[in-house]
Amino acid sequence: AQSVTQLDSHVSVSEGTPVLLRCNYSSSYSPSLFWYVQHPNKGLQLLLKYTSAATLVKGINGFEAEFKKSETSFHLTKPSAHMSDAAEYFCVVSSNFGNEKLTFGTGTRLTIIP
């Protein structure tokens, strides 16, 4: 069984300040973890993924996430927010044990204040 919890449904930050979107996961097996972004009226875009290699993962648009097994967390960060970062972000877990199904978190809406 696997699940993912996004701890904040909404996050607001000022432009130029750091972004932190929190995600905790549960998985019976070694997990793969993903962050997807969904801009308004657009499809889902993969930001980054953790696949049991380096625990600090760098993605597109300056985002990165750190896999912490002891804390079962995979928080998404960005040093400086840009107006174009305003979107819905989904943390996703999948099992590495032959299960291709993705389990989505409930999403975090990121608002950027000018």
Partner 1 sequence: SAVISQKPSRDICQRGTSLTIQCQVDSQVTMMFWYRQQPGQSLTLIATANQGSEATYESGFVIDKFPISRPNLTFSTLTVSNMSPEDSSIYLCSVESASYYNEQFFGPGTRLTVL
How near is the Cβ of 16 to partner 1 at its closest, in Å?
29
How near is the Cβ of 104 to partner 1 at its closest, in Å?
5
Residue with smaller CB distance to partner 1, 43 or 114? 43
Token pair in block for residue 72: 């079962």
Torsion of CA 64, 109, 34, 38, to 10 degrees: -110
Nearest to 89 by CA among 8, 2, 3, 1: 8
Output helix, strand, coil percentages for the chain, rounded to the nearest 5: 5, 55, 40
Q: Determine if 101 is a binding residue for partner 1 (CB under 8 A).
A: yes
Q: Determine if 49 is a binding residue for partner 1 (CB under 8 A).
A: yes
Residue whose structure tokens are 């760098």: 58
Q: Which part of the chain contacts partner 1 (CB under 8 A), choosing from 17-25, 43-51, 54-62, 73-81?
A: 43-51
Q: Determine if 22 is a binding residue for partner 1 (CB under 8 A).
A: no
Q: Determine if 89 is a binding residue for partner 1 (CB under 8 A).
A: no
Residue with smaller CB distance to partner 1, 44 or 86? 44
SS3 label, residue 71: coil
Measure the N-to-C terminal CA separation of the chain; round to a whole number of Å. Answer: 41
Q: Determine if 24 is a binding residue for partner 1 (CB under 8 A).
A: no
Q: Determine if 107 is a binding residue for partner 1 (CB under 8 A).
A: yes
